[in-house]
Amino acid sequence: MKLGEKIALCRKKAGLSQEELASRLELSRQAVSRWETGAAAPDIEKVVELSRLFHVTTDYLLLEEKEEPEPASPRAEPKQTGPAFDPVAERRRKFRIAFGAAAVILGLLTAVAALALTQLHAESLTEWWTHLGRFGTALQSWRGGLLAFGILLFLTGGVVLVWEYVRKD
């Protein structure tokens, strides 16, 4: 049996179309078709990828006298070098980033609004009771709490964003 026939047989046993196999090998469907018809041959890297994908040895694919596929050795299996993609973890990560960014923006807007409101109120004061003058007196009301909340929100968002940046997972 020739290489192209073996590729077609293994592909069909794996339940893959030419398009799906081409996608996994990052090439065109026409290239797979040319391999299977014998019009072209895959380069050695693609033969290795095919052997791993179909769980057969490269000897089975390349040698014409081998008619029965031999199972590939466990060492032929590709090793995962990095963490597998986890869509749930990725959604959580995106949520944390969005939360951090929103907290930074809202905290900044709240703090600026509190300062602006404090300044407006300070301009209308005729007396003050702190060593900070009119502004300090105006800040001792609910506007000071609003400013503290804005700063806390800004810092919380910043910590979340920095934490996401330095995470390893």
Question: pLDDT by residue (tens digit) across 31-43?
Answer: 999 999 989 989 8
Single out the residue in 41, 76, 111 at which a domain terminates.
76
Asked if residue 13 has pLDDT above 80, the reply is: yes
Q: Specify the pLDDT at position 111.
A: 95
Written as six digits, the tokens of 67 are: 């008619």
Kindly state whether residues 36 and 67 are assigned to the same domain: yes
CATH number at residue 61: 1.10.260.40
Smallest Cα–Cα separation from 50: which of 84, 79, 85, 9?
A: 9
Matching residue, tokens 């959580």: 92
User: Range with the lowest mean pLDDT among 108-112, 141-145, 148-152, 165-169?
Assistant: 165-169
Burial of residue 119 (number of CB atoms within 10 Å: 0-12, 13-18, 19+)? middle
User: What number is the average pLDDT over the span 129-150?
Assistant: 82
Q: Are residues 27 and 56 in the same domain?
A: yes
Reading the block at residue 74, the tokens are 């466990």
Q: In terms of domains, do 103 and 162 share one?
A: yes
Helices 44-54, 18-25: inter-axial angle, 10-degree rounding: 120
Question: Of 76, 111, 132, which residue constitutes the final position of a domain?
Answer: 76
Last residue of a domain, one of 76, 96, 130: 76
- pLDDT confidence bin for 76, thresholds 50/70/90: very low
**65 lies in some domain:** yes
- Rounded to whole angstroms, the Cα distance separating 151 from 157 reads 10
Is the pTM higher than 0.75? The answer reads no
Which residues, 6+ apart, have CB-to-CB distance to 168 below 8 Å?
none
Is the domain of 72 the same as that of 8? yes
**100 and 53 co-located in one domain:** no
Q: How confident is the model at residue 30 (pLDDT cuts 50, 70, 90)?
A: very high
Asked whether residue 82 is assigned to any structural domain, the reply reads: no
**Domain annotation covers residue 161:** yes
Residues 7 and 71 in one domain: yes
As a whole-number percent, the residues of the chain with pLDDT over 90 amount to 33
| Domain tally, the chain | 2
Between 128 and 34, name the one with better pLDDT: 34
Residue where the block lists tokens 């503290």: 148
Q: Are residues 56 and 117 in the same domain?
A: no
Residue 150 lies in a domain: yes
Categorize the per-residue pLDDT at 128 as very low, low, confident or very high, splitting at 50, 70 and 90. low
Q: Both 42 and 96 in a single domain? A: no
- Which domain range does residue 152 map to? 87-166
